[in-house]
Structure 1
């Protein structure tokens, strides 16, 4: 055991945090999902005109989607995962296929996502930034 405060299992701990975040999203557990983010997290979505500068801002936007468009996540599949650790910061990237439902019907969205995690004082990992872009590998499909 090294003397780096037991951080040898950070890789597994961050992956577990990412998996919990993705599962909450996929299962529509919005409180658990938003609790996975720091209050001052930022969000860049290709479907949204401006950057969101807090988790509350994202939560409010989600509420608007739900109320105005009956937005719901039906399923989410994460693959091609990469986790890079940089001390108290971790960068998680993956390809994500999400099935959503709105008043217009069901849709499957193919995206690439980056989630940046940061270790909190109590050795938990919270997401501090999320960036989504269309997945060019599926653009021709």
Structure 2
């Protein structure tokens, strides 16, 4: 495993762990401010991190949204220079409107190496896992 691969996987692990413990601050810190987001349950693209943070806050206040746990499997990583594409299957235990649910999804997260060497997510695309 190269140093780059190890660094990207570490960044991905930190992002998934923060999401899984509903640590919004650490989770959003894993994304660049200009990151974009495509979610199958929204009818529009979130064009930056601030837009996603606003949507997250709305889900929390309106829907009682809370992440209880998250598991990442079937992981695949492709590093191309200072860009990395991380794909995985994600199983998320969450609460919405007082109901406990488990989502089965697949996700692509694109990371870019920053001038300071850190790897930040610059794009996330989430889709339902076909059954």
| TM-score band w.r.t. shorter chain | over 0.9
Cα distance between partner residues in 1 of 2:81 and 2:21: 31
Tell me which stretches of 4 or more aligned residues in structure 1 moved more than 6 Å. none
User: Residue 10 of structure 1 aligns with which residue?
Assistant: 4
> Aligned to 2:45, which of 30, 48, 51?
51
Match of 2:33 in 1: 39
Partner of 1:56, secondary structure, is helix
Equivalent residue in structure 1 for 2:75, among 75, 81, 84: 81
Larger Rg: 1
CA RMSD of aligned residues (A): 0.7
Map 1:1-141; keep pairs closer than 5 Å.
8-136=2-130, 139=131
- The normalised TM-score by structure 2 is 0.98
Q: How far did 1:104 drift?
A: 4.4
Once the 2 structures are TM-superposed, how far is the Cα of residue 45 of structure 1 from its aligned partner?
Answer: 0.2
| Contact 2:64 2:98 survives alignment (8 Å) | no
Q: Which moved more, 1:100-109 or 1:55-64?
A: 100-109
Contact 2:20/2:69 (8 A) holds in 1: yes
Compute the displacement of 1:103 (Å).
1.3
**Can you give the 5+ residue segments of structure 1 that lack an aligned partner in the other structure?**
1-7
Across the two proteins, how many residue pairs are aligned to each other? 130
Tell me how far apart the structure 1 counterparts of residues 4 and 93 of structure 2 sit (CA, whole Å): 30
